[in-house]
Amino acid sequence: MLYSDKVMDHFQHPRNLGKMEDADGIGEVGNAKCGDIMKIYIKVEDDIITDVSFNTFGCGSAIASSSMATEMIRGKPISEALALTNKAVAEALDGLPAHKMHCSVLAEEAVRAAVENYYESQRRL
């Protein structure tokens, strides 16, 4: 089988799906080669990610990676979200096929971009 049960579950039943209107940070990344575009929204209180959601246009692995990444950072300090690696996302999904590992990389990059966007918005206040 190409995909683990966890990948299929997160693809068919994505967690935290949808745009967050009042996000404190938004990270958007994309891979022109495969066409996957990932957007992660975070809400932050006292350096804790209190809410998180995503919108992903892409393959099942990209959707599953986004879904898993949001689950992994919800309720965590920003420092832990920044430490999230694509390897950790892939392992939490019980693995991804080698040619789909870029999807977990996008999830890592989108989380990092959302946190960076949050920090930028805080500096403007």
User: Distance between CA atoms of 66 and 58, rounded to whole angstroms?
Assistant: 10
CA 87, 77, 50, 125 torsion-angle sign: negative
Q: How far is the CA of 48 from the CAs of 84, 99, 110, in angstroms?
A: 14, 33, 17
Of 8, 17, 34, 59, the catalytic one is 34
Q: Name the active-site residue from 103, 106, 113, 114.
A: 103
**Catalytic annotation present for 103:** yes
Catalytic residues, which ones? 34, 103
